[in-house]
Structure 1
Amino acid sequence: MAGKSVSEVPSYRRDQGIVFQSYALFPHLTVRRNLEFPLEMRGVKAADRAKRVSRMLERVRLGEFGGRMPSQLSGGQQQRVAVARALIADPPILLLDEPLGALDRNLREQMQIEIKELHREFGKTTICVTHDQEEALTLSDRIVVMRAGQIEQIDTPEALYDRPKTRFVANFLGEANILENTEFKVE
């Protein structure tokens, strides 16, 4: 990160926001306390924590839910709390690990829009791991297609779709127009 390897740095020491597929919210803490936790760990004073948490809850449209427990929220609300918690400490990078996988189709589509809006608003470098091609095409400015741990292609969604460099990339994106014989004769 920022030109430095973090492979030897323990994950809790890396300055990053992470959202897991399971959301990993603290079930014994209220929504407000879930958002306060990363700030408290960074030594942010209580008054500043309270202001930042209130602003973030309003931003993710959960202003009235600060006193609730995660189990009292819908899947989409839990997902918004997880994203808010990842963003609240203002990390330089946001990592999303299959963040929408547990949601039904309609909610997943709504949350894709919400994540795009948050990305634009906060301007954070965001890496989203997904196996859902539609989600990758919707959320991304650039996509890295990987196969067996190796990069097949890095490009914009449009370039990947229009000009896949390998058969794997073409098949990965679905509905591929693969021409088996590319030798043509003009008569």
Structure 2
Amino acid sequence: MKNTLFTLLMVLSGSHLFGQQLTAIASQWSDSFAEWTIYTSVEGEEGTLRLRWNSRGDWTQWEYRIGEWTGQLKTKWPDRIDQWEARGENIIVDARTIWRDNLREWRISRPGGGEYKWQSRYSNILDEWVVDTEKYGFFEMYTAFEGDPREWIIVDELEASLPEKMMLVFLTIINSTPKQ
């Protein structure tokens, strides 16, 4: 009864679900993958995803902003890239690899309970990532141009918070692009 009431309050308050859809993400520079522009379904409302400590080359901490929505993504443990955490709007989303040393399949833990798998559609090509669940919806990312990880199209039909969606976007970016 408590869990049902809590979930209902989160949905009704509007803080649990991000009302917009993410539509695309593109690197801001053609020779760097440390700064990104995020596009949404609201015309003129763009966001950013960027390395927090770009000058140090530390790829373990990132920040995002879309309108008034802000958050951080970082490794859960130092020197481990198989577990990440997204924080924003009083929500925490955890992601961890399903199999050790396989960065193509991730288990995403939803705020308030539940989980699903985010994975590269093909084992040898990182140009397309997908989650398709009856319970939570559909989310897919694929490169705008095959083999070019600088621009991604996002198909966002997932009922989720912004930190959760940003975790999916981030895992795709961090695992599909060179670290420059």
Per the shorter chain, which TM-score range? under 0.3
The TM-score with structure 2 as length reference comes to 0.27
- The structure with the larger Rg is 1
Q: Name the structure with the higher helix share.
A: 1
